[in-house]
Amino acid sequence: MKRIIALVCCFVFILPLVGSPVIFADEAGREQKVGSEEPGLPIKLTADTFDENLLRYMASVTEGSYMLSPLSFRYALGLLLAGASGETKTELMTALGVTTEEEWEESCLAFNDFAAKYADSAKRELDQVRKWKKEGVVDADQAEPSRALQLANSLWKREDITADFTAEYREKIEQCYAAEYYNFTRETAVEKINTWADEKTEGLIPELLPADYDSSNLALVLMNALYYKNSWKNPFPEEFTEDGDFTLEDGSLVNKSFMKQEERFAYYEDEDTQLVILPMKDGVHMAYVLGSTENLEEKVAKAEKTLVRVTLPKIDLETSFDQQELVNFLKACGASLVFDQDQADFSCMLDHQVWVDDIIQKTRLKTDEDGVEAAAVTAVMMVETALIIEPDQPKLFTADRPFSFYIYTGGNKVKHMIFAGEIVD
């Protein structure tokens, strides 16, 4: 079986030693104020809207096609939050929209449980196919199913720093994040971190940091890697795939390879939005959205199974956020002390003065035609503008112009936003 969707995210906090200046500026070189809502983000500080705020902010500062992982961001922030103390912790929790650290941990613990069940299901499926091969039920040459949902967290400390992670911090990390511990030197930091990222993402992200990355003041690295691989419930027939025109925002055309099929999918439309939800195995879904993404969760909840003729371009997308975009997002949410070399308090983590200097996230997404059985989508009430469609009158969903995509768990109620992005070129 071919890989249908393979997504990887590595997320890194870089914490330097005190002594090097930290300057934050926007693309025009203007100093950015802490708590600023630029560029045009109405910050709503509640846990329910954290992902929404992140996606809206990144869309406002990004040009071209991109993707990111709100879930990986949550895990990395959890590693940071667990080590914060005093006002630094209070301010960070306020910026994240929670009143206690446990509230943030609950989301990660819930996904840990989901990932464990996913892994068990994938193993059972593989074991069953191998059993059938031995019994002659299926052909011995038939490709075996290949699915994965792997989370990895790691904590890195420079070897010459005598202070160690505190027992309190280690206990927190073990309970929620099961992080691995590593050491590095100024000379080996880049190579070691890149090797770990390469291994944890099955080779999809072989280089997180460039070879010339300045690690001279690097003290700690808090790192999360997320690797996901799954299949469509309804595969796209390869014989229907054909090249076609994709219309860019400026009206120009580019050629893409489009997959096509007609099937009953959860579907929603109104005067501003059209969306279709493609199911994958074990409760993971991918929503494709044309038009407005405002109030997306409400629209997803109203989607109902309908016969839809879908036309979707294959995706092969790699994105790096390494120009302070995520730093500026946290600052826009009001987190300032974590970036202050004099006032940042991470004494719960270790007895050594550190602060956050850089945040890096790198992702990759591939889609193609193949797929196997997945969990069904729960149908709910349709909006007033939706119609009941007869089998010979399918709705048309043709993603031949810029669209957004979301990969999440929870069916018609979004529970964990794993990956999200936009295709505009």
What region does 64 belong to: left with phi over 0, alpha with psi -120 to 50, or beta? left
CB within 8 Å of 140: residues ≥ 6 apart = 133
pTM for the model: 0.83
Q: What is the pLDDT of residues 152-188, one digit of tens each?
A: 999 988 898 888 999 999 999 998 899 999 999 989 9
d(CA 79, CA 162): 21
Q: What is the pLDDT of residues 213-259, one digit of tens each?
A: 888 888 888 889 988 888 888 888 989 999 999 999 888 999 999 99
H-helix or E-strand containing 123?
helix 101-135
d(CA 401, CA 291): 10
Question: What number of H helices and E strands is found in the chain?
Answer: 8, 15
The rounded Cα 331 to chain-centroid distance in angstroms is: 20
What's the order of all strands across the beta sheet hosting 5-16? 180-184, 148-158, 218-230, 5-16, 358-367, 316-321
Give the pLDDT confidence score for residue 10 in this predicted structure: 58
Kindly indicate the confidence band of residue 370, based on its pLDDT and cuts at 50, 70 and 90. low
Q: What is the pLDDT of residues 68-85, one digit of tens each?
A: 888 888 898 999 999 999
Compute the average pLDDT of residues 313-324. Answer: 88
CB 339 within 8 A of CB 32: no
d(CA 266, CA 275): 8
Which residues are paired to 226 by β-bridges?
9, 151
CB 279 within 8 A of CB 285: yes
The domains found in the chain, sorted by start residue, are: 5-106+146-230+317-366 (3.30.497.10), 238-314+371-423 (2.30.39.10)
Omega before 39 within 30 of 0, i.e. cis? yes
Compute the average pLDDT of residues 7-29. Answer: 45
CB 176 within 8 A of CB 105: yes
CB 71 within 8 A of CB 418: yes
CA dihedral over 201, 205, 207, 213, signed as positive or negative: negative
d(CA 282, CA 279): 9
Compute the average pLDDT of residues 90-106. Answer: 89
> Phi/psi of residue 22, each to 5°?
-120, 125
Which residues are paired to 350 by β-bridges?
165
Which residues are paired to 304 by β-bridges?
267
**Range in 18-22, 368-372, 374-378 the model is least confident about:** 374-378
d(CA 65, CA 47): 27
**Range in 18-32, 120-134, 264-278, 327-341 the model is least confident about:** 18-32
Q: Which carries the bigger pLDDT value, residue 191 or residue 31?
A: 191
Closest of 236, 306, 298 to residue 265, by C-alpha: 306
Compute the average pLDDT of residues 88-99. Answer: 89
CB 66 within 8 A of CB 54: no
Closest of 82, 46, 53 to residue 331, by C-alpha: 53
Kindly indicate the confidence band of residue 14, based on its pLDDT and cuts at 50, 70 and 90. low
Give the pLDDT confidence score for residue 316 in this predicted structure: 86
Give the pLDDT confidence score for residue 167 in this predicted structure: 93
